[in-house]
Amino acid sequence: MKKLSHVGIFSSDPWSNRMDKLAAEFSKHRVDVTRVIPWKVSREGFTSYHRISIEGKDLSQLDMLLVMDLGANDIGAFFNRVGLLSAMTEMGIEIVNSLNSILQMRNKAETMRKLISAGLPVPKTLITESIGDAAEFIRQNFPCVLKPITGFGGEGVQLINRQFDLDHVYDYLKFHSQIFGKGAYLLQEYVDNPGYDIRALVLDGEVISTMQRVGGEGILHNIHAGGTPKKNNIDVDDLAIRAASSVKGRIVGVDLIPDNNGNIWVIEVNATPGWTGLQKVTEFDIAEKIVSSFID
C-alpha cells in the first residue's frame, strides 16, 4: 500500500462533521489534509497545461482524495465535479470511492442492474420512460414505491398506496416526474416490513458496523427523515459485502429491509454514506477505523 503523506477530503459542505473527524484522524498520523470544497476549486488549462487548485494549493500533489459527497443537483455543477474527479484520476490521484463507482451508485437504475446481475435479492423493479408502462406496473403491483432515478436522502421516494392516486395514476406520475423524476420512472414492489430497515457500513470488503433505523417519515427510515438508530441483531454481512462488491465500492453504505416473513431485501447502496446515526450504536470511532484502513 502506498504511504500517504497528503490527502484531500472532498465535500460540498464546508461544515461537514465527517470531514472534521477524518481530518483530525489523519493529522494524528502526520498526514497533511486539504479540504477540497468543489465550489472553491479552480481549473486552468492552456494547450497541454492543466492545473487544479484550491486557494492557491496545487491539488495534483495529493496522494488520495476521499469523497464525502458529490452534491450538485444542478446539471452544470454536477458535470463540473465529475470532470474534476476524472481529471484528478488521470493525474494519478486515488479517488475513494472511484468516480465510476460513485456514478454507478448515484444512478439508482444502474445500481439496481448491478445488484440484480450479482444475484442479490431486490424487490421487483421496473425502470422506464414510458408513463403507460409505469402506470401498468402500479396497477399490477399496488401498493408500490416510486423513486427518482437520481437523488439522495430519500428525496422524492413515494409510497403509492392511496386509491385516489391509483385512480389518477397518469396525473400522479406526471407530477412526480416534473418535480423529481425528470422523465424516467423507477418503480418497486413495496416490501411490507416490521417498521425498520438496516444500514450496513462496508469498508474494503468488511462490514464494520450495522444498525437498525426505526420509524421515520412515511416509508423512510433514514436518520435524516427522523429514523432512530438502534443496535442490529440480524446478520446481513454476506448480503452487504456482496452488494458493495457489485458496485466496486471501498466505502459503501448498504440499505437492507426485512419483510414480515423473515426475508432480507437489498434496497439501495450509497457511495458517500454518513455515519452520524451509526456512530451512536458503534463502540469504536468510525472515522478512526476508516483512516486506519488507509494508513496501516
Least confident piece of the model among 103-107, 175-179, 243-247, 248-252: 175-179
| Number of separate domains in the chain | 3
All three cell numbers of 273 = 454514506
Alpha helices in 99-234 (DSSP H): 99-106, 108-117, 131-140, 163-167, 169-176
Percent helix / strand / coil, the chain, rounded to 5? 35, 30, 35
Residue 109 is assigned to a structural domain of this protein: no
Same domain, 204 and 288: yes
Neighbour count for residue 14 (Cβ, 10 Å): 10
Nearest of 236, 257, 147, 121 to residue 193 by alpha carbon: 257
| Within-domain flag for 34 | yes
Q: pTM, whole model, 2 decimals? A: 0.91
Q: pLDDT value at position 69?
A: 93
* Identity of the residue numbered 201: L
Matching residue, cell 439501495: 268
CATH number at residue 283: 3.30.470.20
Cell numbers that stand for 54 in this block: 484550491
191-245: per-residue pLDDT in tens?
Answer: 999 989 999 999 999 999 999 999 755 555 554 545 789 999 999 999 999 999 9
Residues 131 and 184 in one domain: yes
- The model's pLDDT over 30-89, given as tens digits with 9 standing for 90+, comes to 999 999 999 999 988 776 667 899 998 999 999 999 999 988 778 899 999 999 999 999
41 and 83 part of one domain: yes
